[in-house]
Structures are given as C-alpha cells and as structure tokens.
Amino acid sequence: MLAEKRWVLKEQADPEKTARLAAELGIAPVLANLLIQRGIETHEEAWRFFNPKLENLHDPFLMKDMYPAVKRIEQAVEKGEKIMVYGDYDVDGTTAVALVYSFLARQGHPRLTFYIPDRYTEGYGISIRGIDCAAESGVTLVIALDCGIKATEKIEYAKTKGIDFIVCDHHLPGDAIPEAVAVLDPKRNDCSYPFKELSGCGVGFKMLQGYCVYRNLPFSEVECLLDLVAVSIASDIVPLTGENRILAFFGLKRLNEKPNKGLMSIIKICGLEKHAITIDDVVFKIGPRINAAGRMATDAEDEKVHSGGHAAVRLLIASTEEKAEAYGGAIDVCNNNRKNIDRSITQEAHDFIERNPQLKELKSTVIYNPKWMKGVVGIVASRLIETYYKPTVVLTMSNGYVTGSARSVPGFDLYQAVESCADLLENFGGHTYAAGLTMKPENVETFTQRFHEYVEAHIDPEMLIPQVDIDAELLFSDITPSFRTTLCRFQPFGPGNPAPVFATANVSDRGDARLVGSEQEHLKMELIQGEKPNTSISAIAFQQPQHYNHIKNGGAVNVCYCVVENHYRGVVTPQLRVRDIKPATKKTEP
C-alpha cells in the first residue's frame, strides 16, 4: 500500500503582480496566480495563452534540413517514384504514418505504401526487413517517422539498395546523424528550431506544412489532419506548451467536430461521441486502443502477415465508415485482450515482490520473467509504480534477448540510470521518465545490480514518497461560474500545463457519501464547507474507499482536487476530482 502522500504547495506569485494581472484580465486573483506560475505575466502573454492561433505556428523552414526534405518529396511526386511511409508501432508512430500517407494520397500520388515493424520480430525503429521489403516492392524513397535518428547503419544499408531516406524524429540523436537526404529533428544540436518538444507526428506535420509552403498549397490541406496530431501529442506525453498547445487545441477541435473515420469509430466504441473530448479521453481511452494493435495483433492481407501496427494505420486511413468500424472493432478486441493479459502479469509481478521482501527494501524495482508478453511490460512497470512508487524495470525474453521497459517517479531521470549501464545493453532509448532496453540474458544479473546501485546513489529519498503539488488554496465559494469558465480556457491540460490542483480545508459530506464502482472502489461525496449547504459540490475520489467510514460518520477532512465539468443529460455541473484526502484533525501540508 502506498505511503501517505505529501502535499506541497507551489510557490505563490507576488501578491502585487497577481492583483495587477487579475485586474487587467478581469479574472479572480487565484487564476492570475495560476498564469504567473506558468510563466505568463502580462496581458499580451495571457491573451496568446487563452487564444491559440494557427498563425502563431513557427515557420517550418526554421527546422534544419526542411528544404532538402520537401524538395526530395516533390521530386518523388513529380517522377512518380514509389514512396514508403515508415513508422513506429505505438500511437505516435502510427498516427504519424497515417498523417503523411493520407496527405500524399490526397495530393493524388498513386504509388504509396506504408510499413510498421513488428514489435516481436523486428523491434523498435528502422529494420533490415523493412528496408528489404521496400527494395523488393520498388520503393526509392522512405519517409521514416518517430524513429530513425540513430539508424546510421540501417540507412547506409538502404543506400546500397538504391533507397533514399527522410527521417522525421523527435528523440535525442546519438553521436552521429544518419546520412539521409534529410534528418528533421528539433533536438539535433545543430538545429535552431524554436520549439524542441514536438511529437514524432508533430515533426511529420511540420514537414507537410513546409511542403505546402514550398508548393504554394493552402494550409487547409494539412489543417484537416490535426486530429491525428492531437492524438499523438496526448498519447506520447510531450509538453503541452508552445507549439504543442496550439496543435493540440486545434486538433481537439477537429476531433470533436469532424474527426477522420477511423478515429470516429474509436470515439463511438469509447462512448465519447456525445461528450466534449479532452486530452484525458485521448490518454486513457482512445490512445490505449490504438496502441493495443501494436502490442497484441497480427493482421493478414493478400496472404502476407503484417504487424499489428498495420491494423492501426489502416484504421486511421480508412476511406469508408464500414472499413473504419471493422478495424475499430478488431482493435477494441485487441485492447480487451491486452487488459486481461496486463492485469494477469501485474498480479504475478505483485505476488513475486510480496514473496521477496528484500526487493521492497530497495529504492528501485527490477523484475524479470521470460514468459511475460513483451508488448505489455511497460504497462506493468507503470502499474508497479502505482503501488511501490520507485523507479521500475520490467524485463522479459524476446527473440533470444532480454528486453523490457523502464518507468520512473517524478524528479528522477530514468534515462540517465539506464544509460549508466549502456555497456551491458544491446540497445536502449527513451526519455526522462520512460525507456526501453535490450540485453543479452547473461547480463541481466549485472544490470540489475548496477541499476539498483545507480538509483541508490542518485535518488533523493523524498522522490520515493508520493507527492501532490498544489497550485493554490481555495474556498468552495470561489468556484463560481465565471471561475469555471476561465479555468476551462487553461485547457488543454497535460505535461507543462497540468490541470490545476486546489486544496480546501475542513470540509465534510452532506450525508450522501457512498462507495461506487464494480468493486466499491470509488468514493462519491457531496461536500460542504462549514455550515453552508448552498456551497455544496459533488466530488469523486477514485480508488480511495479507505476514507469512507470517517467521512460517512461526519468526520471533517482536507481535500485536494481538480475542478472538472460533469456532463449528464445535457446538464453541466462542477465536480471535484479528488486527488487525496486527509482527516482535518491531522496536521497537513500546506
């Protein structure tokens, strides 16, 4: 069971600065404080934040290699060359492939194909099999999306087959940049592009934007594909700041108003067609279903067996509702199977750790079972962090190698921990909080020991205590209709622009507290502050049934929460999504 969470009140803005900005904007001081916490301190900056504009997207030609990229695509289109659009098997990769494939198809280019490597037989990134497949089918240009930045040898191999590469990636480069026709990656040291945190699909979008500028095509030719970009941004957990905020804002608008047929089929499966779709809906409902295809499925077409990721792309490029519904239904089955498998493996992992108490004493978790499914170990790692709250690596066996996924806790750079063991690894990659790695079986024991030692030496003990960062303290009476309207304008929420968390002290239930959910695992309340029932507000505390007795018996509590909108039968009411509860008699922070 998790340790009691620490509540940490964020540094509050200077009161004079807050009051001045609040007066200029005509908003509550607590909302002006939120803006300043996000680095927004002037009326002009706030206006740009609250009113994203597509014209504020950066010039795509600020990205290094943009000109040779669009020129090479133009050459391929004019000469009728066969183009392969190649991408990773996760949501970012499959949406990126669908984006570029759909655009080129809309331009009338007839000689198109796409390729998604198989997670189990090829692994991540550019593969020899993919290059050979391109050569055999007469491809002369491969556009690689969400991968390729470290594929120096593979791209050299492709040259021997007469195949050019354009790389669109957003991962950190290695020591050498591949010798492709063009390598678009804002994280290149020699790239001065102003925004460094695009998703892989976002880099692909910038390339298409550049192509439209180069060919004098209207921006509407790519604007209609922004729903795919929004799904990639949400699912790949990139910061929702700067250019990503603009892309996600208009992508969500498209997703709500006129999504492509494939996404519409998933929206219907999720039961979201009558709701305003948010970033959370993409992260927890739409994205996992698209991901499930690459984790679980194989798909046959024309007697050739393709990776499950191909099914995700076919869904996203479906030209008819019938095709979209067929692929959507198949992918939903994959997702249900995935959930059953990851639930089973997570339970096995929990049982193993509980049988080995010495593992619980360590500041990190490394667990290995050669029988576990490769496609779900990242999910299992995340589930283990929910319980044990420490950097976690889950390993399994695939194609003669031990492979796995790592996940971290806030504040700890997991990538550096994995990189410190690079000499033991065949390959690895990832970000601060998530990484993938592959090694020979004989290196597992040494890797485990060294990973534990690195974490022990570098982690701050406070990082091992779950923490809730609180933006501001609030009274229930502050949650007025105008407050909620302005708060909604802070969306879309995500990394870099998280949903604000507020704290309110000494509240109690009006008498309606009850446990809900299939296993009575959630706590539903109607909270009041003081003796004012007219300030009551509906609240839901997911996975917190332990507080039921105290609250049902009239006990006062302190709560921290996000303010959300609850849509029911056309009526919109405020609701508190409670992050944590503490008895009011206890001394709490803040």
Residues 163 and 179: beta-carbon distance below 8 Å: no
Q: Which positions ≥6 away from 498 have C-beta within 8 Å?
A: none
In sign, the C-alpha dihedral spanning 571, 574, 580, 586 is negative
Give the C-alpha separation, 466 to 472, whole Å.
19
Average pLDDT over residues 191-214: 97
**Is the predicted pLDDT of residue 39 greater than 90, yes or no?**
yes
**Is the predicted pLDDT of residue 303 greater than 50, yes or no?**
no
Average pLDDT over residues 363-390: 92
Residues 367 and 355: beta-carbon distance below 8 Å: no
Residue 371's pLDDT band, with cuts at 50, 70 and 90, is: very high
Average pLDDT over residues 460-467: 92
Give residue 261's identity as a one-letter amino acid code: K
**Is the predicted pLDDT of residue 161 greater than 80, yes or no?**
yes
pLDDT in tens, 529-548: 875 555 789 999 998 999 99
Q: Is 503 left (phi over 0), alpha (psi -120 to 50) or beta?
A: beta
For the record, the structure tokens of 446 come out as 């040494």
Long-range contacts formed by 216-219: CB under 8 A, 24+ apart: 219/54
Average pLDDT over residues 35-56: 95
Q: Rounded to two decimals, what is the model's pTM?
A: 0.88
For the record, the structure tokens of 21 come out as 């900005």
Quick one: DSSP state of residue 13? P
DSSP helix/strand/coil, 528: strand
Give the C-alpha separation, 52 to 201, whole Å.
20
CATH for the 55-334 domain, from 3.40.50.970, 1.10.1740.10, 2.20.25.90, 3.90.1640.30: 3.90.1640.30
Residues 279 and 494: beta-carbon distance below 8 Å: yes
**Is the predicted pLDDT of residue 2 greater than 70, yes or no?**
no
Strands 365-368 and 304-307: unpaired
Write out the residue limits of the CATH 3.10.310.30 domain(s) in the chain.
356-464
302-311, 339-348, 367-376: least confidently modelled range: 302-311
**pLDDT at residue 324 in the model:** 93
Residues 546 and 540: beta-carbon distance below 8 Å: no
**Is the predicted pLDDT of residue 498 greater than 80, yes or no?**
yes
Average pLDDT over residues 514-536: 84
Mean pLDDT estimate for the chain:
91
pLDDT in tens, 413-433: 999 999 999 999 998 887 788
H helix intervals, 107-218? 128-136, 152-160, 200-215
Give the C-alpha distances (Å, rounded to integers) separating 236 from 15, 90, 282, 411, 440. Answer: 36, 9, 11, 19, 28
Average pLDDT over residues 337-355: 90
Query: Would you identify the CATH topology of the domain 6-11+467-583?
Result: OB fold (Dihydrolipoamide Acetyltransferase, E2P) (2.40.50)
CATH for the 356-464 domain, from 3.10.310.30, 3.20.20.140, 3.40.190.10, 2.120.10.30: 3.10.310.30
**Is the predicted pLDDT of residue 98 greater than 90, yes or no?**
yes
H/E segment holding residue 163 = none
Residues 56 and 246: beta-carbon distance below 8 Å: yes
**pLDDT at residue 296 in the model:** 57
Average pLDDT over residues 375-399: 92
Write out the residue limits of the CATH 2.40.50.460 domain(s) in the chain.
6-11+467-583
Burial class (CB in 10 A: 0-12, 13-18, 19+), 80: exposed
Give the C-alpha separation, 176 to 128, whole Å.
19
200-204, 374-378, 507-511: least confidently modelled range: 374-378
Write out the residue limits of the CATH 3.90.1640.30 domain(s) in the chain.
55-334
Give the C-alpha separation, 461 to 272, whole Å.
41
Burial class (CB in 10 A: 0-12, 13-18, 19+), 413: middle
Residue 565's pLDDT band, with cuts at 50, 70 and 90, is: confident
pLDDT in tens, 4-27: 788 999 999 999 999 999 999 999
For the record, the structure tokens of 27 come out as 């908003």
DSSP helix/strand/coil, 20: helix
The DSSP annotation for 465-503 comes to S-EEEE-EE--GGG--HHHHHHHHTTPSPBTTBPPP-EE
